[in-house]
Amino acid sequence: MLSGTIGSQVAANQDPKNGVPIIIAAIMMQGLGFWVSLLTIGIFIQKIFCGTKFPPPSARFGLYMFVGSPGFTTLALVACGRAASSSGVFYMDFILGTTGAGEIARVFLDLFGAFFWGLTAWLCAFASVAIIMGCFSGPHFGSEMTFSLSWFAFVFPNVGFTIGTMLLAEEFNSQALKIVTAVMTVILAIGVSLLWFGAIRAVAKRYIMMPGKDEDKPIAAFRGEFDRFEERYPSEAQYKMS
Give the pLDDT confidence score for residue 215 in this predicted structure: 57
User: What digits encode the pLDDT tens for the residues 26-53?
Assistant: 999 999 999 999 998 888 888 888 877 7
> Is residue 238 situated within a structural domain?
no
> Is residue 240 situated within a structural domain?
no
What is the rounded distance in angstroms from the CA atom of residue 112 to the CA atom of residue 149? Answer: 34
- Evaluate whether 88 touches 11 at the Cβ level (below 8 Å): no
Give the pLDDT confidence score for residue 35 in this predicted structure: 93
pTM: 0.80
**Those residues with Cβ within 8 angstroms of residue 80's Cβ, 6 or more apart along the chain or in another chain:** 4, 7, 8, 11, 23, 26, 27, 105, 109
What is the rounded distance in angstroms from the CA atom of residue 161 to the CA atom of residue 168? Answer: 11
> Is residue 112 situated within a structural domain?
yes
> Is residue 49 situated within a structural domain?
yes
Compute the C-alpha angle 74/76/78, nearest 5°: 70
**Those residues with Cβ within 8 angstroms of residue 64's Cβ, 6 or more apart along the chain or in another chain:** 124, 127, 153, 154, 157, 158
In terms of residue numbers, what domain contains 39? 1-233
What is the rounded distance in angstroms from the CA atom of residue 44 to the CA atom of residue 63? Answer: 10
For residue 140, which phi and psi values (nearest 5 degrees)? -130, 155
Give the pLDDT confidence score for residue 19 in this predicted structure: 81
> Is residue 174 situated within a structural domain?
yes
What is the rounded distance in angstroms from the CA atom of residue 57 to the CA atom of residue 135? Answer: 7
What is the rounded distance in angstroms from the CA atom of residue 104 to the CA atom of residue 112? Answer: 12
Give the pLDDT confidence score for residue 97 in this predicted structure: 56
Q: Closest Cα to residue 180, out of 165, 159, 161, 160?
A: 165
- Evaluate whether 7 touches 82 at the Cβ level (below 8 Å): no
Domain count, the chain: 1
> Is residue 16 situated within a structural domain?
yes
Give the pLDDT confidence score for residue 214 in this predicted structure: 63
**99 SS3 class:** coil
Tens of each residue's pLDDT in the chain, 242 residues: 788 889 888 888 887 778 888 888 999 999 999 999 999 888 888 888 887 778 888 888 989 999 999 999 999 999 999 888 875 656 555 554 566 777 888 899 999 999 999 999 999 999 999 999 888 887 778 677 888 888 999 999 999 999 999 999 999 999 999 999 999 999 999 999 999 998 898 888 887 877 766 655 554 444 555 455 445 545 444 434 44
> Is residue 241 situated within a structural domain?
no
